[in-house]
């Protein structure tokens, strides 16, 4: 998401100290005789796709909500519709600095436990990463006047040395994630997202297309060298105007399993038609490319902050899902009031949008955790 109000630990330039064969394309993963956790997840998503269903996802769902933080066994979605989201979305921000908590003060140990619980209940987990700037040590949203990506992908630079260490730490954490039987958790990883905008240090306006693609290559190489076979990779620009623009930064079929799009509904009722148009140009491009390449397509980030359109789930999101049938859709978090007032994307008990959300939950095309458990 473009703006994320977070609680960051003080961070300067970080010391490079320890914290304590490439995967194939989607088709290659799915066709191996000894299927990997990533291949199993891919086949599951393909079943959902073939059924014309859409998995509902929510960011940081079981670790905080509008009126609570850190409680166990809670979820605004669960307390509203009686079911967990089919997908839970997480963020690795600050794993690179060996922090015990991520950029939203969620303990990495708690995150790992919740991901295992989501897998046990039949759900799916997806992860993004908002790493610090390897040139300045500041957060991912700080304005940049340097082509940090080119520095980071150029061997022999301090930024390259730093990023290599950070990638190793991220890979080690992802490799540590296990289910209750000790097997690697299958995950969707969405690195270097929203590159069509300039708000992150890796954003397209802040670097070159070639350097951005090398960043993906460097990431995959680091993860593959760690032997990670439990990851599907998602590519997700923010709003674009055409399929050609959507593909501008595409790193290559061998690096990407899921064609995604991040399209937020802004400005309430007045912004509704603009949002529909942005969905058509951006997610429409993702869906078209996915169909051409035989890949999965997903609406990887969306939402209407504070839901000023109270029936947004039935008047806006549901028609989009019925038109395009993305395999999953993820809305952003329900931020605790201490983080930022009115920063939520799913209704919570007492919110005027509850009935719309219940109708959305009960629709025949939406999949939450209870139904997803049966799609194996």
Beta bridge partners of 107: 101
Domain-located, residue 170 = yes
Query: Does the structure show a pLDDT above 80 at 128?
Result: yes
Residue at token pair 């194939």: 24
Tens digits of per-residue pLDDT, 33-45?
Answer: 579 999 999 999 9
CATH number at residue 249: 3.20.20.80
Residue 45 resides in a domain: yes
What average pLDDT is seen over the chain? 92
In a domain, 19, yes or no: no
Residue 154, both tokens: 């150029």
The reply to whether 317 falls in a domain is: yes
Q: Are the C-beta atoms of residues 60 and 104 closer than 8 Å to each other?
A: yes
pLDDT in tens, 314-352: 999 999 999 999 999 999 999 987 888 899 999 999 999
Task: Kindly report, residue by residue over 226-247, the tens digit of the pLDDT.
Answer: 999 999 999 999 999 999 999 9
Report if residue 252 sits inside a domain: yes
Half-sphere exposure at residue 268, Cβ-oriented, CA atoms within 13 angstroms: 5
For the chain, the domain total comes to 1
The percent of the chain in helix, strand and coil, each rounded to the nearest 5, is 40, 15, 45
Q: Which domain holds residue 110?
A: 41-372
pLDDT > 90? residue 80 = yes
pLDDT higher than 90, residue 358: yes
Mean pLDDT of 129-136: 98
Residue 29 inside a domain? The answer is: no
254-276 pLDDT tens trace: 999 999 999 999 999 999 999 99
Give a yes or no: residue 143 inside a domain: yes
Q: Does 10 fall in a domain?
A: no
Supply the pTM of this predicted model. Answer: 0.93
Share of the chain above pLDDT 70, in %: 91
The pLDDT value given to residue 33: 55
Position 4 confidence tier, pLDDT thresholds 50, 70, 90: very low
């Amino acid at each position: 998401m473009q703006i994320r109000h977070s609680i960051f630990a003080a961070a300067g330039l970080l010391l490079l100290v320890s914290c304590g064969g490439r995967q194939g394309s989607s088709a290659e993963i799915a066709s191996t005789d000894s299927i990997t956790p990533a291949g199993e997840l891919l086949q599951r998503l393909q079943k959902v796709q073939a059924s014309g269903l859409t998995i509902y996802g929510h960011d940081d769902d079981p670790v905080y909500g509008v009126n609570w933080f850190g409680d166990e066994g809670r979820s605004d979605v669960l307390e509203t519709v009686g079911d967990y989201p089919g997908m839970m979305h997480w963020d690795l921000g600050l794993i690179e600095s060996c922090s015990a908590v991520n950029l939203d003060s969620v303990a990495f140990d708690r995150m790992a436990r919740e991901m295992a619980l989501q897998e046990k209940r039949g759900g799916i987990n997806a992860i993004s990463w908002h790493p610090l700037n390897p040139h300045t040590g500041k957060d991912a949203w700080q304005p940049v006047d340097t082509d940090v990506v080119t520095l980071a992908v150029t061997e022999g630079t301090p930024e390259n040395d730093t990023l290599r260490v950070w990638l190793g730490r991220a890979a080690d954490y992802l490799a540590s994630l296990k289910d209750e039987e000790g097997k690697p958790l299958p995950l969707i990883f969405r690195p270097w997202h929203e590159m069509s905008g300039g708000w992150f240090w890796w954003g397209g306006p802040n670097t070159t297309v070639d350097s951005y693609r090398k960043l993906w290559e460097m990431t995959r190489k680091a993860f593959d060298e760690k032997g990670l076979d439990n990851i599907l990779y998602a590519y997700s620009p923010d709003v674009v105007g055409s399929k050609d623009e959507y593909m501008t930064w595409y790193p290559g079929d061998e690096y990407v399993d899921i064609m995604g799009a991040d399209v937020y509904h802004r400005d309430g009722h007045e912004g509704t038609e603009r949002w529909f148009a942005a969905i058509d140009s951006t997610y429409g491009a993702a869906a078209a490319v996915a169909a051409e390449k035989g890949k999965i397509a997903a609406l990887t980030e969306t939402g209407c902050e504070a839901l000023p359109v109270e029936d947004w789930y039935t008047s806006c999101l549901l028609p989009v899902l019925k038109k395009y049938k993305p395999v999953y859709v993820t809305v952003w978090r329900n931020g605790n009031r201490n983080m930022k007032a009115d920063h939520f994307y799913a209704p919570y008990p007492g919110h005027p949008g509850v009935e719309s959300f219940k109708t959305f939950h009960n629709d025949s095309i939406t999949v939450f955790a209870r139904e997803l458990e049966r799609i194996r």
